[in-house]
Amino acid sequence: MARVRTVDPQHFAPQLAGMVGNPTSERRVQLGSLTVWANRPELATAFLRFQQTLDATTSLSLRLRELVRLRVAFHNQCRSCMAVRSSAAIADGMTDGAVCSLQRPEDAPDLTHAEKAALAYADLLATDHLSIDDTVFDRLRQHFDDSHIIDLGVHIGVCVGFGRLAMSWDIVEDLPPSFQHDHASAVPWSAEAIVR
């Protein structure tokens, strides 16, 4: 059971319901931690507006953003984050093979050099941010300009911070079985992932 009360999507405040569109109980798993955020609809809508601005103005591909999100979710061990995949990222070329490559991204033949550089940066921000040095940025600059690096950093920061928060809330009741019971068995490359 979640450590913080969740709100059934049918009971979302009007301003939040308007932002997520048709928030039925059947969509709970797709809404992720919003079922907890819904206890504070003014914060939930502010966060969604921020996320929508990031989504609308980013220079990064949907595939890259989703691969980074899933890799950070693995580091955070956020089961509700790992259980869901973006249909938009899949349409942008994110395959099951690419997701499976997240287990060992540096060795993956189906990830680009840019994706590997971004994932290495995400790994460090999620696990050892004090070790980030000029060599990390030199590698990023082989593929990204400063605008891309800012977009990437903000995206990773959101994933790290809010993913850890969602993990602490333990919102797993509606997830597939492999994500419900054991942190050790939960991985984003699971075949049971849900497309949202």
Give residue 189's pLDDT. Answer: 64
Please name the residues in contact with 10: beta carbons below 8 A apart, sequence gap of 6 or more: 23, 24, 25
Does residue 71 fall inside a structural domain? yes
Domain count, the chain: 2
Of 57, 83, 104, which closes a domain?
57
Residues 186 and 100 in one domain: yes
Tens digits of per-residue pLDDT, 106-137?
A: 999 999 999 999 999 999 999 999 999 999 99
Residues 2 and 72 in one domain: no
The answer on pLDDT for 29 being more than 70 is no
Tens digits of per-residue pLDDT, 56-84?
A: 999 999 999 999 999 999 999 888 888 88
Q: What is the pTM of this model?
A: 0.89
Residues 45 and 77 in one domain: no
Tens digits of per-residue pLDDT, 39-50?
A: 999 999 999 999
Does residue 124 fall inside a structural domain? yes
Rounded distance, CA 170 to CA 32, Å?
Answer: 11
Does residue 174 fall inside a structural domain? no
Does residue 175 fall inside a structural domain? no
Of 57, 75, 98, which closes a domain?
57
What is the CB neighbour count within 10 angstroms for residue 106?
10
What beta strand segments (E) does the chain contain?
A: 84-85, 194-195
Of 57, 80, 99, which closes a domain?
57
Residues 115 and 103 in one domain: yes
What is the CB neighbour count within 10 angstroms for residue 152?
23
The CATH number covering residue 109 comes to 1.20.1290.10
- Could you list the residue range(s) of the whole structural domain that residue 37 is in? 1-57
Residues 89 and 120 in one domain: yes
